[in-house]
A and B are shown apart, each in its own frame.
Chain A
Amino acid sequence: MANRLAQRLAFWRPPSEALPFTVLFKKFQSILERNNLILELMADMGDKLGGEYIFDGHYIAEAAEKLGDQVFKLISDYSILNQHQNADLFVAFERIRYAIQEELAGHHILTGGGPVAELTEIGYEQSELAGAKMATLGEIRRRLELPVPDGFVITTRTFFDFFQRNNLFDRTETAARLWQEQALDDLRQLSEEMQQRILAAAMPRRLSQHILAAFDALAKRQRNRKLKVALRSSAWGEDGSSSFAGQYRSILNLGRDELIDAYLQVVASAYGIEAWRYRLAKGFLENETAMAVGCQAMIQGLVSGVLHTYAPQAAEGAMLVNAVWGLCAPVVQGDASADTILLDRRPPYSPLSLAVADKPRQLVPAEDGGTTWQELPVVLQKTASMNPAQMEELARAAMSIERYYKRPQEIEWTFDRDGRLVILQSRPLRIHVEADAGQGITEATRDAEIVFSGRGFVAQQGIAVGKVFLVENDRDLAAFPHGAILLSRYTSPRYSAVMPIAQGIITDVGSPTGHMATLSREYRVPTVVNAEIATALLKTGDEITLDATQNIVYRGNIGALDRFELIEEEVFEDSYEYRLLGRLLKLISPLHLLDPQGEDFTPAACRSYHDITRYIHEKAVEELIHLSEKQGARSLSAPKRLATELPLGLMVIDGGGGTTCPPESPAIGPEQVVCLPLKELLEGMGGMGMWCTEPVAVDLGSFMSSFTRTFSASMARPEEIGRNLVVVLDHYMNINMRLGYHFTIVDAYIAEKINDNYIYFRFLGGVTEFIRRSRRAAFIARVLAHYDFLVEIHGDLVVGRLKKLSQQRMARRMRMLGGLVGYTRQLDARMHTDRDVDHHVELFLQAMQACLGE
């Protein structure tokens, strides 16, 4: 009995004393400020990846520390506001902070790495797991949208598991000593012994099961029960600054039954004497040896070959192509004569010369596996293996890859039976560095006309040579030519559509930390924003050289600059610091928590600092609304009804400076709204009457009635309806609105200082059948994208984010959102076909154009 009482008492605590509303509101404001500061710090770090800044390891550590500190304080502030311990938020924070510290300490974390990985999941971040060669292919597929053979990677994790289970590492360390003593015979013996042991070792069953399951899944995707694959080595360091060209094995055209044995053969080639000596000579340590193996559907190449994107020994300004009928291997191994083609490095990449070789036979996949030579018909023997269209297509792909990696590339390619170009492999091409490389540049740039220099900000460094193409609308964007330099008045995330084929980007207006700049960095397109006078001085068709490292635009083609960049000792994007900062940002910046109403909008789902920040921001607004309703009546900030002609049923909470309404007044007139975002939003809604007559045939009366339905009696309890509530400060607004069946959130800060400005817009519809909802989502997404929002669609949910535009442009977009919210209300019944989406987008944009002049 006494025990039970004690237990009960243990749960009893004196009621905590509530903090005054004004204190809590101060906390709320501090959360908003810290929120903006954190976003700013994150953007600054991202900015450093663009290459305009010289930074070092010390900076990275310090910035990460400062950011972590702010996020920690943000959680603490929030804990006071909601008066909970929020242990789960602190746990999420610690998890991220720990990962950041491990990265800074130089401990690689192989995250999420299984024994096999699909090629579609691989990019350069997975280099450790997938090896350099396959990571490059994954990146080429993902970033440049070029076709590569479908397949998967047997990861380095499998390599380590297999070696450890068979105790294969026990003698590898002796190699370094043998090399040092130059005991080459002993080294050779060790190499042979290692290879034999690997080939004789048992593959753990769990691993073979994973590998075979991945093979079966590939066969299913390929709809080929007798699928043949190619196995390619993908070791650490391979194709990096050391090429390892031809040191490791590839095995072509093998089936399921031979897969595991073939894998062991490829892995054993890592310890072949040439490969091992090569590594030792290059100073690789034994613990830097690991081999992933790519397993890809065998491509039946009709014509294949190798392309060098830069071939100064053959001709200045030319690409060199060697091509044969059939598979690519003979060109790589050099055991068959090949056609030699020189292509201009500049668009449209015209052929400069073509030497057709005598090609009596071709290598083809053999019926029962492996490859075999086949005699060619006489007519083909002396015919050029490539046609001009193929040359141009290949050249385009090659220049995209070179532009991305900023290094001349050696590319293995093939055209398959359907005539489709497939990239098999790409590795940096080592070019001999001329001692006086700089001298050539000084001469080349001395007399060049400078169009402008030092204007605006570098968002992504690099050199771009090409013809200017002015983009003013979506039609221009669709017509954007390969290899051109995009010129535009404003930045827009929409331009990511052409980033894989653009040489460079210049805009008059924009921020180096805006959404488009982030995309430029992802695609590594040399980009200068906010150059102010670019569209005044340049026009479509002008040939220019954009030096987005020194931030100078020259008239004409300064090839020397381009070449200098291609032979620079180290590419900034390949440096350890760049990669480290990139990896940290992966733990910091990505936003996974997009939907505050979604089930996974929880502390446990926070995977980045941005997630935590977003979560707290959203919850803090909710908390404030809750508090103001509960205790606000006793304070100045009780919610007041907005008295407007639009029956929105909107309650306003003024956190300070948002209205000129006297405290005792129960209602606010629209003229008393000071808060800029709300003023503009209301303006947009009220302005509907101006343009929603013809031809859209939505009269103001029915528009109103749709608003009125908001509070119809058929609705459930008020808390289920959701509140039509807005929290305002002078420059800040957070509005939660349910109109009919649509639920909209807009969170915005708009002031003089461009860097703080942002709009977050979220729209969720309901009720109508899914197909109509998705049309509506498509409509909203396209309108938002037109106004430069970064848009994400998840089913019926549309999230648009916009940041860092001038106050005036931000304000116009708020007004547009007001219009959009009203317009969309009427849309449900009107979207009968997909064509209606185009129609409505056009009507809406026209109307807005008339309204906003933009």
Chain B
Amino acid sequence: MVTNEAAAPLRILILDDEPIVCKRLKPAFQKLGHTVETFTDSGQALARLGEAVFDLVITDLKMEGADGLQILNGAKASSPATQVIVITGFATLETAKESYRKGAFDFVAKPFKLRDILDCVKRIEDRRRGPAAESGQ
């Protein structure tokens, strides 16, 4: 019998200047038991990253003010263990490369399937549980 494995809840920060993305992602993660904070303003998100530690940051790339790569830097600076997923509607090979170079866990082009990002987070959870879990043991 297959069941949902119990995993430790993650603290997740979601940043996208379009509220619809936050509104759609938030309940999907809540449903899995994670705690979620959402932001549509990158300045506020950056400030929040300075005061609290998150396990995962999902950020848009192209925004007014600080862009996704600055958020990536900010997140890694405040907590190196924080994983970052970059989502963008302007995906190019260059931006993808740069995101990975700066330490992004994954790079997802919008629009994407909800399932894709959930799988992506699943991989992060597996990694947190250690290499044994990741190799499926």
Is chain B found bound to chain A in the same assembly? yes
Alpha-carbon distance A52/B110, docked complex (angstroms)? 12
Q: Do A54 and B111 touch (CB < 8 A)?
A: yes
Question: Is A442 in contact with B6, judged by CB distance below 8 angstroms?
Answer: yes
DSSP class of A's interface residues: helix, strand, loop or mixed? mixed
Which residues in chain A, 17-66, are within 8 Å of chain B measured between CB atoms?
A: 48, 51-59, 62
Give, as a whole number of angstroms, the nearest-CB distance from A60 to chain B.
10
Tell me if A52 and B115 are in contact (CB < 8 A): yes
Q: Which residue of B lies closest to A567 (CB)?
A: B27
Confirm or deny: B48 has a beta carbon within 8 angstroms of a beta carbon on chain A. Answer: no
Q: Is the CB–CB distance between A569 and B110 below 8 Å?
A: no
User: Which residues on A sit within 8 Å (CB–CB) of B111?
Assistant: 48, 53-56, 59
Does A163 make an interface contact (CB < 8 A)? no
B 19-59 contacts with A by CB, 8 A: 20-21, 23-34
Query: Quick check: A551 and B115 within 8 Å, CB to CB?
Result: yes
**Could you say which of A284-292, A365-373, A448-456 contacts chain B?**
A448-456
| B66 interfacial by beta-carbon distance below 8 Å | no
CB-CB < 8 A to A576: which residues of B? 20
Q: Which of B1, B21, B26 contacts A56 (CB 8 A)?
A: B21
Residues of chain A lying within 8 A (CB to CB) of residue B2: 449-450, 453
CA distance A564 to B110 in the complex (A): 26
Task: Find out whether the CB atom of B114 lies under 8 angstroms from the CB atom of A550.
Answer: yes
Are A57 and B20 closer than 8 Å at their CB atoms? yes
- Say whether, besides A447-B3, A450-B2, A550 and B115 are in contact (CB < 8 Å): yes
Scoring A54, A58, A550, A570 by chain B CB atoms within 10 A of each residue's CB, the highest score goes to: A54
Neighbouring A residues of B112 by C-beta, 8 Å: 53-54
When distances are taken between beta carbons in the complex, the residues of chain B under 8 Å from A569 are 23, 26-27
| Cβ-based interface call for A657 (8 A) | no
A58-B110 CB under 8 A given contacts A438-B34, A549-B28, A564-B31 = yes
A59 touches B34 (CB 8 A): no
Q: How many angstroms from the CA of A759 to the CA of B113 in the assembled complex? A: 29
Residue in chain B with minimal CB distance to A63: B111
CA distance A57 to B4 in the complex (A): 33
User: By the criterion CB–CB under 8 Å, are A55 and B33 in contact?
Assistant: no
Bound complex: CA A57 to CA B24 (Å): 13
| Bound Cα distance A458, B114 (Å) | 10
Assess A58 versus B89: contact at CB under 8 Å? Given A52-B115, A442-B6, A446-B4: yes
Q: How far is the CB of B57 from chain A (nearest CB, A)?
A: 16
Contact with B along A567-593 (1 / 0, CB 8 A): 011101001110000000000000000
Given the complex of chains A and B, what is the CA–CA distance between A614 and B36 in angstroms? Answer: 47
Determine if A224 is an interface residue (Cβ-Cβ < 8 Å): no
Residue of A whose beta carbon sits closest to that of B88: A58
Decide: A550 near B18, CB < 8 A? Known: A55-B111, A58-B110, A438-B34.
Answer: no
B113 touches A550 (CB 8 A): no
Residues of A within 8 A of B30 (CB): 437-438, 564
Contact B4 A570 (CB under 8 A): no
A189 is an interface residue with CB less than 8 A from chain B: no
Interface residues of B in 84-137 (CB under 8 A from A): 89, 110-115, 117-118
If A438-B30, A564-B31 touch, does A54 touch B115 (CB 8 Å cutoff)?
A: no
Interface pair A446/B3, CB less than 8 Å apart: yes
Mark A64-85 against chain B: 1 for CB-CB distance below 8 A, else 0: 0000000000000000000000
Query: Which residues in A have their C-beta under 8 angstroms from that of B117?
Result: 54
Residues A448 and B3 in contact, CB atoms below 8 Å apart: yes
With both chains docked as a complex, state the minimum distance between the C-beta of B107 and any C-beta of chain A, in angstroms.
15
Q: Are A550 and B3 touching (Cβ within 8 A)?
A: no
Complex Cα–Cα for A289 and B8 (A): 47
Q: Quick one: closest A residue to B29, CB to CB?
A: A438
Among B3, B18, B28, contact of A58 (Cβ-Cβ < 8 Å): B18
Question: Which of B1, B4, B30: most chain A Cβ within 10 A?
Answer: B4
Evaluate contact between A575 and B20: CB separation under 8 angstroms: yes
- Is A52 touching B28 in the complex (CB atoms < 8 A)? no
A-chain residues with CB within 8 Å of residue B16 when the two chains form the complex: 56
Which A residues are in CB contact (< 8 Å) with B33?
438-439, 441-442
B115 CB contacts on chain A under 8 angstroms: 52, 454, 458, 550-551
In the complex, are the beta carbons of A575 and B23 less than 8 A apart? yes
Q: Are B20's CB and A438's CB within 8 A?
A: no
Considering only CB atoms, which chain B residue lies closest to A575 in the complex? Answer: B20
0 or 1 for each of A542-578: is its CB under 8 Å from B? (1 = yes): 0000000111000000000100100011101001110
A555 and chain B: residue at smallest CB distance:
B1
Interface pair A55/B31, CB less than 8 Å apart: no
The smallest beta-carbon distance between B129 and chain A, in angstroms, is: 16
Contact B113 A52 (CB under 8 A): yes
Q: Does A445 contact B (CB under 8 A)?
A: yes
Cβ proximity bits A418-461 to B, threshold 8 Å, 1 near / 0 not: 00000000000000000001110110011111100110001000
Q: Select which of B1, B24, B118 is within 8 A of A550 by beta carbon.
A: B118
Q: How far is the CA of A566 from the CA of B91 in the complex (A)?
A: 35
* CB contact under 8 A between A450 and B31, given known A56-B16, A62-B89, A577-B20: no
* With A446-B4, A448-B3: A438-B89 Cβ-Cβ less than 8 Å: no
Q: Is there an interface contact between A56 and B20, defined as CB atoms closer than 8 Å?
A: yes
The A-contacting residues of B in range 58-78, CB under 8 angstroms, are none
State which residues 334-390 of A face B: CB under 8 Å. none
Complex CA–CA separation, A439 to B29 (angstroms):
11
Contacting residues, chain B, for A446 (C-beta < 8 A): 3-4, 6
Interface string of A228-267 (1 = CB under 8 A from B): 0000000000000000000000000000000000000000
- CB–CB A55/B27 < 8 A: no
Most buried by B among A449, A549, A569: A549
Question: Which B residues touch A58, using CB under 8 A?
Answer: 18, 89, 110
Complex CA gap A639/B114 in Å reads 52
Q: How far is the CA of A226 from the CA of B130 in the complex (A)?
A: 79
In the complex, the chain A residue whose C-beta lies closest to that of B118 is A550
Measured in the bound complex, the distance between the Cα atoms of B28 and A561 in whole Å is 11
In angstroms, Cα B111 to Cα A62, docked, is: 11
Which residues on B sit within 8 Å (CB–CB) of A551?
115
Known: A53-B111, A549-B28. A445 touches B4 (CB 8 A): yes
Complex-state Cα separation, A309 to B116, whole angstroms = 34
Known contacts A54-B117, A57-B20, A550-B31; 9 further A-B pairs (Cβ under 8 A) = A52-B113, A53-B113, A54-B21, A54-B113, A441-B32, A442-B4, A448-B3, A449-B3, A569-B23
27 pairs from A and B in contact (CB 8 Å cutoff): A52-B113, A53-B114, A54-B112, A54-B113, A54-B117, A57-B20, A58-B18, A59-B110, A59-B111, A62-B89, A437-B30, A438-B32, A441-B31, A445-B4, A447-B3, A449-B1, A449-B2, A450-B1, A450-B4, A454-B115, A549-B28, A549-B114, A550-B114, A551-B115, A569-B26, A575-B20, A575-B23
**Closest 3 A-B residue pairs measured CB to CB?**
A442-B33, A55-B111, A438-B30
